[in-house]
Amino acid sequence: MPGYTYFFVDSVPKQCICPICKLPMQAPVVLTSCQHVFCDSCLRPRHRRGHSHNRASLDLDSSLMCPLDEQRVDSRNVKSSVELSNQIENCMVRCPQEPQGCRWVDIVRNVPSHLETCRYVAVLCPQNCGDMVCRAFLKEHVDHACSRRRRLCQFCRNSFSAEEYPKHEGTCPDEQVWCENKCGLRIPRRKLARHAEHECVKREVGCSFCRKRFLFDTLQTHIQQCTLKGVTTPVSGQQSHSSNHQQHQQQQQPQYNTSTSTSNSSSNDAAILSAVGKNSSGTGTSHLAVTPESTLDKPDSGGVNPQFNSQRRQQPEASAEAPPPVPRRAASAECLDGGRVRGAPPIDCPLKWCGCQFKGDRASVDRHQRDPAASAHHVTLLAELGRAQRRELDSLKRQLRHLPLVHSGRLVWRVDNYAEKLADSTSNRELEFCSVPFYTGRPGYRLQASAFLNGNGSGAGRYLSLYVKLLPGEFDPILDWPFVRPIRMRLLDQRDGSAGSRRHLEESFTPDPSWRHFKRPGRDASAAFGFGFPKFAAHELLRPEGGSDECCYLRDNVIFLEIEVLPDAAE
* Each residue's pLDDT tens digit, 444-471: 999 999 999 999 888 888 999 999 999 9
3-state secondary structure of 207: coil
- Region class of 182: left (phi > 0), else alpha (psi between -120 and 50), else beta: left
- Which residues, listed in sequence order, are joined to residue 560 by a DSSP beta bridge? 414
Write b or e for each residue in 384-395: b if 16 or more Cβ atoms lie within 10 A of its Cβ, otherwise e: eeeeeeeeeeee
How much is the pLDDT for 470?
92
Domain boundaries, the chain: 7-112, 233-324, 404-565
How many Å from the N-terminal Cα to the C-terminal Cα in the chain?
67
Q: Using CA atoms, how far apart are residues 44 and 47, in angstroms rounded to an integer?
A: 5
Q: What distances in angstroms separate CA 447 from CA 172, 489, 514, one per listed residue?
A: 44, 13, 19
Residue at 488: amino acid letter: R
CATH class of 404-565: mainly beta
How much is the pLDDT for 137?
85
Residue at 152: amino acid letter: L
- Residue 36 contacts by C-beta under 8 Å, 6 or more apart in sequence? 19, 30, 66, 67, 68, 69
Write b or e for each residue in 8-38: b if 16 or more Cβ atoms lie within 10 A of its Cβ, otherwise e: eeeebeeebbbebbebbbbebbbbeeeebbb
pTM: 0.34
Find out whether 362 and 224 touch, Cβ atoms under 8 Å: no
How much is the pLDDT for 571?
53
Cα torsion through 76, 81, 82, 88, rounded to 10: -150
3-state secondary structure of 433: strand
- Residue 360 contacts by C-beta under 8 Å, 6 or more apart in sequence? 220, 221, 224, 346, 347, 368
Find out whether 551 and 399 touch, Cβ atoms under 8 Å: no
How much is the pLDDT for 527?
66
Phi, psi of 193 (to 5 degrees): -65, -45
How much is the pLDDT for 206?
86
How much is the pLDDT for 226?
83
Find out whether 435 and 450 touch, Cβ atoms under 8 Å: yes
Widest CA span in the chain = 169
Fold observed for domain 7-112 = Herpes Virus-1 (3.30.40)
- Which residues, listed in sequence order, are joined to residue 447 by a DSSP beta bridge? 438, 470
Cα torsion through 270, 273, 279, 284, rounded to 10: 160
Crossing angle between the packed helical segments 362-370 and 372-401, to the nearest 10 degrees:
80
Q: Tens place of pLDDT for every residue, the chain, 571 residues?
A: 578 888 898 888 888 899 888 899 988 998 888 888 988 888 876 555 544 444 333 333 456 788 888 788 777 888 888 888 899 999 999 999 888 888 889 999 999 999 999 988 999 988 888 888 888 888 888 887 888 888 888 889 888 887 788 888 888 999 888 888 888 888 898 898 889 888 888 888 888 888 788 888 888 888 888 877 765 444 444 444 434 444 444 444 444 343 343 344 444 444 444 444 444 444 444 343 334 443 334 444 444 444 444 444 444 444 444 445 544 444 433 433 444 444 567 888 998 888 899 988 888 888 898 899 999 999 999 999 999 999 988 888 777 666 556 788 899 999 999 999 999 998 887 889 999 899 998 889 999 999 999 998 888 889 999 999 999 998 999 999 999 999 999 999 988 877 777 889 999 999 888 888 888 988 776 667 788 999 999 998 887 754 445 668 999 999 999 999 998 755 5
